[in-house]
């Protein structure tokens, strides 16, 4: 970031900036980034425009340290991620913030109309002043930079996830007060602490993510080179680099933090540290629980703890929360641009999951079946902690995958039952699970689910795992005709056939999900299998809203597929996509052929039955006693054959037709994962284009010699560079996942087909042997005629 900003000084024209912001706000998944940018803008402008506003920040009990302003900002930032909590606790302080905030930050240059704005700007100004004092002889440029950096860091901290914000809130007001009083050393300490806690968070989250660790190790040397102020640098050489070195080595955030803090820190931050420790313990707990594959729902124990923690924190008023966060970020700012970069990186890594978490949270809000306010954010954190390691596990360990393929879990769907009458009727199935996995409370359990529940599960899984490139096994489609027949209550062979087919398809669908190492970890899956009653809201949503949404998504997908002309660099994907396309066509053809085979088999069964009947008649009409007897024997034989043919038809249906139908659906999912990868690519490309544009703007500004806007442009470029890096990473991650998933899919496909064919041949053999028995029994009868 520093390098880029040096290269491109002139700031941005506001109008364009706003455009960018607007456009980004449209794309919901980037909302975290938006917020970061908003903040970024507002704070950088503050020192320049609002220096002399002297509104006291009344709300803060210990506010001299200017943290409240930023705190106000950070709260709204937190908002999108864990709104229920924040709305209740932090909401007191920032009564009307989140909505207005975007506007606020966009219009900082204008006189602040809103109380909150003024307060924010004002205190921001104070903050920079104070900061200046504390640091002593720092240049204006540095200060500015510091602010920038600090904002970045803040953005990083806030944009990341609720976890980050959660831990940020840990230090209580007392710590902050002392900070105010203390000398620069204290600040350094705080910086050390904050950086520690910040790094602890990323490292906690990204323990397994190597890139960040690498970055951390790179940071100190580069800090040397680029630092403008020697004194500040020293500070960081001492504390910061050590700090970074240690987490890198041990990868455990908890330990280094402890050692770093030393005595003074302990005094100062005794409580926060404790909280942080607790936090990390919790986190570890969660991680552990992930590794032992316990469901979030099951996790009542471990989760309860964090819940308490959260609620406690919610009680400790919002000011405290955000104050500390500002302190941290501020002091982080002192660390120099390199660290800002680091945090930017952290942001990158963290925000990978944020869209998902956000969406998940939204959903949970919709569900609204969680009374505790802290629960949503909690489970977000939990699911994040869980899903990410799961994903990373997937990426990292191939062997493990092999292991997990042999999961000892069997799901069966039984007893389809029509519930209700008329058009409100629906089918319910018994879902029985047999498992020896430790993450389930029981070895066997059975729940009752209706068809729409199965669909709802799929929707949830798709939303969560689809964008990451996972191939989510699809359930059978809704079948209006079949279902209407069911509802009308026509109990003919076609409707029983329909029910049986669907039952089988649902069973295979669930089995595929639990066979998937990552999907099995999903709390929704476990909830689906274990929980006695699923919230009805989910299924209704699956019925109406989601179905409709899916339709729209499909339509937009089709459009984007046409418009996005992906410049495929990876031959593997190109080939695979073609393979998938052709496999899809072939499977469709095969399916049609098998279906016609099944139709003929059924026809044969029917014809055999009528032949049996006519033979019986012929036998009864026959005068010759021996012949008559033989003919009636023949009629019996044909009756048995009819049953054989019928079994054969069923066998063909379930061995081939349904298997192939499954794979046609699965290929759709494979294609969807390719699409998700393409979308990630597109996002990356768009970001690159945007970055290019920003650089051009910067060059223009440089040419026009507009230093005031140059700074803004620089910052934006840094922002976009971070985004480009993030999206590229994102894309690569999705690519890796897709690749792995496709390989897994193919392996599964071969295995599945083989097993199915073996079963098929076994039954074929059996029926032939049965046939032999029949003929052998009939032969003497025929010979006895004469």
Binding site for other proteins (CB under 8 A): 579, 583, 586-587, 589-590, 593-594, 596-597, 600-601, 603-604, 607-608, 610-611, 613-615, 617-618, 621-624, 626-627, 630, 634, 656, 743, 746-747, 749-750, 753-754, 757-758, 761-762, 764-765, 768-769, 771-772, 775-776, 778-779, 782-783, 785-786
Judged by beta carbon, residue 460 or residue 601, the one nearer other proteins is 601
Closest C-alpha among 755, 298, 766, 767 to residue 508: 755
Instruction: Output 536 or 747, the one with its CB closest to other proteins.
Output: 747
Closest contact distance (angstroms) between CB of 583 and other proteins is: 7
Minimum separation from the CB atom of position 579 to other proteins (A): 7
- For residues 114 and 622, which CB has a smaller minimum distance to other proteins in the complex? 622
Least separation in angstroms between residue 718's CB and other proteins is 43
Q: In terms of CB distance, is 390 or 583 closer to other proteins? A: 583
Would you say the C-alpha torsion 142, 143, 144, 149 has a positive or negative sign?
A: positive
Alpha helices in 490-570 (DSSP H): 493-515, 517-520, 523-530, 536-543, 545-563
Strand partners, 432: 412, 446
Shortest Å distance, C-beta 568 to other proteins: 18
Comparing CB distances to other proteins, the nearer of 145 and 642 is 642
Shorter beta-carbon distance to other proteins: residue 101 or 587: 587
**Rounded to the nearest whole angstrom, what is the least distance from the CB of residue 476 to other proteins in the complex?**
22
Nearest to 344 by CA among 599, 737, 4: 4
**Shortest gap between Cβ of 639 and other proteins (angstroms)?**
13
Contact between residue 120 and residue 42 where contact means Cβ atoms under 8 Å apart: yes
Q: Which is nearer to other proteins, 528 or 745 (CB)?
A: 745
Q: Give the pairing of strands 444-450 and 426-435.
A: antiparallel
Q: How far is the CB of 361 from other proteins (least distance, A)?
A: 39
How far is residue 774 from each of residues 65, 644, 757, measured CA to CA in Å? Answer: 95, 11, 25
Shortest gap between Cβ of 472 and other proteins (angstroms)? Answer: 21
Q: Which is nearer to other proteins, 113 or 765 (CB)?
A: 765
Q: Which residue has the tokens 């940071």?
A: 219
Please say which residue, 560 or 585, places its beta carbon nearer to other proteins: 585
Q: What is the C-alpha to C-alpha distance for residues 644 and 646, in angstroms, rounded to an integer?
A: 5
Cα–Cα distance for residue pair 584/668, rounded to 1 Å: 8
Closest to other proteins by CB, 492 vs 776, is 776
What does the CA dihedral 136, 137, 141, 145 come to, rounded to 10 degrees?
A: -40
**Dihedral of alpha carbons 176, 278, 165, 392, sign:** positive
Cα dihedral 559/743/659/582 (nearest 10): 50
Q: What are phi and psi of 91, to 5 degrees?
A: -55, -25
548 versus 775: smaller Cβ distance to other proteins: 775
Say if residue 751 is exposed, middle or buried (CB neighbours under 10 Å; 0-12, 13-18, 19+): exposed
- The rounded Cα 136 to chain-centroid distance in angstroms is 45
DSSP state of 522: -
Minimum gap (Å) between residue 307 Cβ and other proteins = 45
**Are the C-beta atoms of 251 and 203 separated by less than 8 Å?**
yes
Closest CB 571 distance from other proteins, rounded Å: 13
Q: For the CB of residue 600, give the shortest distance to other proteins in the complex, in Å.
A: 5
Beta bridge partners of 431: 413, 447
As a whole number of angstroms, the distance between CA 679 and CA 700 comes to 31
Alpha carbon separation from 609 to 250, 280, 330, 627, 763 (Å, rounded): 76, 72, 86, 20, 21
Comparison of 496 and 596: residue with beta carbon closer to other proteins? 596
d(CA 246, CA 703) in angstroms, rounded, equals: 45
| 313: phi then psi, degrees, rounded to nearest 5 | -60, -35
CB of 623 to other proteins, least distance (A): 6
């Amino acid at each position: 970031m520093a390098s880029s900003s040096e290269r491109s000084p002139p700031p941005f024209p506001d109008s364009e900036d706003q455009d960018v912001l607007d456009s980004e706000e449209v794309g919901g998944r980037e909302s975290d980034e938006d917020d970061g940018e908003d903040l970024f803008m507002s704070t950088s402008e503050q020192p320049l425009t609002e220096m002399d506003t002297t509104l006291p920040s009344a709300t803060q009990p210990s506010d001299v340290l200017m943290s409240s302003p930023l705190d106000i900002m950070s709260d709204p930032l937190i908002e999108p991620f864990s709104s229920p909590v924040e709305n209740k606790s932090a909401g007191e302080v920032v009564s009307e913030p989140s909505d207005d905030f975007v506007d606020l930050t966009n219009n900082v240059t204008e006189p602040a109309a809103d109380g909150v704005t003024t307060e924010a700007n004002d205190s921001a100004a104070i903050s920079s002043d104070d900061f200046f004092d504390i640091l002593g002889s720092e240049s204006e440029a540095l200060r500015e930079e510091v602010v920038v950096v600090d904002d970045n860091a803040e953005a990083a901290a806030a944009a990341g996830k609720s976890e980050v914000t959660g831990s940020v809130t840990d230090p209580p007001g007392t710590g902050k007060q002392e900070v105010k009083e203390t000398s620069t050393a204290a600040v350094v300490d705080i910086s050390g602490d904050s950086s520690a806690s910040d790094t602890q968070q990323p490292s906690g989250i990204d323990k397994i993510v190597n890139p960040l660790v690498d970055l951390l190790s790179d940071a100190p040397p580069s800090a040397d080179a680029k630092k403008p102020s020697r004194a500040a640098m020293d500070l960081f050489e001492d504390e910061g680099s050590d700090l970074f070195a240690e987490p890198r080595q041990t990868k455990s955030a908890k330990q280094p933090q402890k050692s770093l803090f030393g005595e003074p820190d302990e005094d100062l931050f005794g409580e926060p540290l404790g909280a942080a420790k607790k936090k990390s313990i919790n986190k570890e707990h969660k991680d552990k629980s992930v590794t032992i594959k316990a469901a979030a729902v099951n996790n009542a124990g471990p989760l309860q703890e964090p819940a308490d923690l959260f609620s406690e924190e919610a009680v400790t008023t919002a000011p405290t929360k955000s104050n500390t966060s500002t302190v941290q970020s501020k002091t982080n700012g002192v660390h120099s641009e390199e660290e800002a970069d680091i945090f930017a990186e952290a942001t990158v890594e963290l925000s990978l999951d944020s869209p998902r978490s956000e969406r998940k949270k939204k959903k949970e809000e919709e569900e609204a079946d969680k009374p505790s306010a802290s629960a949503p954010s909690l489970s977000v954190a939990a699911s994040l902690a869980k899903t990410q390691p799961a994903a990373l596990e997937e990426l990292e360990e191939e062997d493990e995958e092999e292991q997990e393929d042999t999961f000892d879990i069997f799901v069966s769907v039984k007893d389809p039952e029509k519930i209700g009458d008329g058009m409100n009727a629906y089918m319910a199935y018994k879902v029985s699970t047999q498992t020896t996995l430790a993450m389930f409370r029981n070895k066997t359990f059975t729940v009752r689910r209706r068809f729409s529940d199965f669909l709802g599960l799929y929707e949830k899984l798709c939303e969560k795992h689809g964008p990451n490139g996972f191939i989510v096994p699809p359930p059978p489609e809704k079948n209006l005709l079949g279902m209407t027949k069911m509802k009308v209550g026509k109990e003919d062979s076609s409707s029983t056939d329909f029910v049986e087919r669907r039952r089988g398809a649902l069973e295979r669908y669930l089995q595929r999900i639990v066979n998937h190492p990552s999907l099995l970890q999903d709390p929704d899956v476990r909830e689906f299998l274990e929980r006695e009653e699923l919230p009805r809201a989910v299924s209704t949503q699956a019925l109406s809203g989601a179905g409709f949404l899916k339709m729209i998504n499909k339509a937009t997908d089709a459009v984007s597929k046409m418009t996005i002309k992906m410049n495929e660099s990876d031959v593997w994907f190109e080939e695979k996509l073609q393979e998938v396309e052709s496999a899809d066509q072939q499977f469709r053809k095969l399916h049609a052929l098998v279906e016609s085979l099944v139709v003929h088999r059924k026809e044969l069964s029917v014809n055999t039955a009528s032949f049996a009947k006519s033979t019986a008649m012929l036998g009864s009409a026959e005068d010759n006693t021996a012949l008559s007897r033989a003919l009636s024997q023949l009629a019996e034989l044909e009756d048995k054959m009819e049953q054989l043919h019928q079994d054969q038809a069923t066998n063909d249906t379930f061995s081939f037709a349904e298997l192939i139908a499954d794979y046609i659906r699965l290929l759709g999912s494979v294609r969807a994962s390719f699409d998700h990868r393409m979308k990630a690519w597109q996002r990356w490309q768009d970001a690159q284009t945007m970055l290019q544009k920003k650089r051009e703007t910067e060059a223009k500004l440089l040419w026009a010699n507009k230093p005031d806007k140059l700074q803004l442009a620089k910052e934006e470029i840094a922002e976009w560079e971070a985004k480009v890096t993030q999206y590229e990473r994102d894309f690569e991650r999705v690519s890796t996942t897709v690749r792995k998933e496709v390989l897994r899919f193919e392996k599964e496909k071969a295995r599945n087909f083989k097993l199915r064919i073996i079963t098929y041949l076994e039954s074929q053999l059996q029926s032939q042997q049965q046939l032999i028995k029949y003929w052998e029994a009939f032969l003497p009868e025929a010979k006895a005629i004469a």
